Amino acid sequence: MKSLDEILALPSEADKIYYLKQRRTKAPDVKTLYDDWNPDRHDVMDTEKRPDAVVKVKEEGVDRNGRTLPAEYAQDKINPTNRIPLPLEQDIVNIHTAWTVGNDPAVECEPNDDQEKVLLQLVNSVCRKNKMRYNNKRIVRSWLSEQEVAEYWYTVEDTSFWNKALGKIKSLVGGRITPKYKLRCAIWSPFRGDRLYPFFDDKGDYVAISREYTVTDPDGTETTHFMTVTKDKVYNWKMGATWEAGKIFKHGFSKNPTIYSYREKSLCHNIKPIRVRLEQLMSNFADCIDRHFFPYLILEGDIKGTPQKSGKNRVIKITNGGKVYYLNWDQASDAVRLEMETLWTKAYQLTNTPQLSLEALKGLGSVPSGKAFQFLFMGTNLAVDNHAEVIGEHIQRRYNFLASAIGSLNADYLKASQTIDIETKIQPFSIDDIAEKIRNASDACGKPIASLRTGVMMAGLVSDVDDEIQKIEEEQATAALNDLVDPTV
């Protein structure tokens, strides 16, 4: 396979793009994945695979000459078939997403000097300004459902970010020049209309990524674009009669400003047959209820008269051993309900997904403690730990890039960006049982483990903590003075 430099040196633009599209990993089947993700595109909603029933006016018969007469149907009159889609993939993926990055990843760093301390604050500020708390969810959701996702960092001209970020630390940064550019983040994924082509070298290292996308002009004209991001440049092409080279520019970073994550199969790939069967069962059962909600009255033998439609004294006269009874179907509904409940449970069990509905949580009784919560959702925590193999590395690369990017944009922190050591760790969602932690710590230490100020802050009952502490100390002093005074004197 050609190297990246060899490809970019080819004389033909079409040849360049042809080789840049060669993947070492299998490209996701975007249509199938989106059909599974969007319940409106499930097979149960397809009118060809699940057609409506037409109203039959006359049954098939035989005329006097023995010829078969076809059945007759009412024109433009149908009985709609029930179609019940289940957004099972969305529910499971959303739960895993919230469980994985619902809590912000822990950032661990011990700055060696003031420059590294300021750099860490700037990195955290960039993440806040770009709403990475929410982008984390978009990234994980795309990775679980679309199989691949990339984030792209670029610069836009704006000094306001640096003015605000450095405003509180002027004593450390002095009167240095304020950079003109700030960092922005974009997310690329298949459902967003991006066709991604990651490029790995012979050692398996990620060195570049290409993105093919379509832009629609106001007049409705669609133009296909192709861009490639390497460690130092961004290349652009546009499709006309053939591929035409566009703008090439240096992005200004010392590292590739893209971060890419991939998985071989979507999270819900293995439970698709279960979801399809559940949709069929529920839709067919709904049809059955529509047809048999009112039971059939069976008349056998000689019957004289029919029951009145109203009134209490409704009588049917039966002669010569006739019978009247309703047609019941006692066991069918139980079998369907058992299968549906079993399949529904299996879909969540096979993906280690907790069922968080009110019905599923009724059996827990009171709210479980923090330790009980950990045991109860151990399977989900193990699944999140597996997700962290990729997502944890993705977030770690982001922080490494941001530290380097700030050093590239602001020379004052170039040295600090080369020495700072930032570690990140995924924090699965959990019930933080503070009371249990305090009790365990008190039992271990045998004495108070927090100051009065910390206790008042944890209580969260007042906004002015210092004023409340002062009042508490005054009340304690008054109580102590009263204890010294003999009330009998």
pLDDT digits (tens, 9 = 90+) for 217-272: 888 889 999 999 999 999 999 998 899 999 999 999 999 999 999 999 999 999 99
Nearest one of 467, 413, 472 to 176, comparing CA atoms: 413
Q: What's the rounded Cα separation, in Å, for the pair 369 and 198?
A: 45
pLDDT value of position 4: 93
pLDDT value of position 331: 56
pLDDT value of position 157: 85
Joined tokens for residue 422: 């930032």
pLDDT value of position 175: 47
Q: Is 414:118 a contact under the CB 8 Å cutoff?
A: no
Number of residues in the chain: 489
Q: What's the rounded Cα separation, in Å, for the pair 10 and 199?
A: 16
Q: In 173-230, at which residue ranges do the beta strands (DSSP E only) sit?
A: 181-188, 195-200, 206-216, 222-229
Joined tokens for residue 35: 């059909």
> Would you tell me how many other CB atoms lie within 10 Å of the CB of residue 205?
8
pLDDT value of position 451: 74
pLDDT value of position 99: 92
Per-residue b or e along 230-266, where b marks 16 or more CB atoms closer than 10 Å to that residue's CB:
beeebbebbbeeebeeeeeeebebbbbbbbbbbbeeb
Pairing between β-strand 53-58 and β-strand 258-262 as defined by DSSP bridges: unpaired
Q: What is the mean pLDDT, run by run of 10 residues, along the chain of 489 residues?
A: 90 94 94 96 92 71 72 68 94 94 91 90 92 95 97 88 66 58 93 96 92 91 94 94 93 94 95 95 86 72 62 64 70 79 92 76 57 71 92 96 92 90 89 55 60 70 76 80 62
What pTM value is reported for the model?
0.80
pLDDT, the chain, mean: 83
Pairing between β-strand 106-108 and β-strand 423-425 as defined by DSSP bridges: antiparallel
CA triple 285-288-291, angle to 5 deg:
155
CA triple 95-99-100, angle to 5 deg:
120
pLDDT value of position 476: 79
> How far lies 311's CA from each of 181, 303, 305, 307, 315, in Å?
84, 20, 15, 10, 10
Q: Is 116:407 a contact under the CB 8 Å cutoff?
A: no
pLDDT value of position 486: 57
pLDDT value of position 169: 61
pLDDT value of position 324: 73
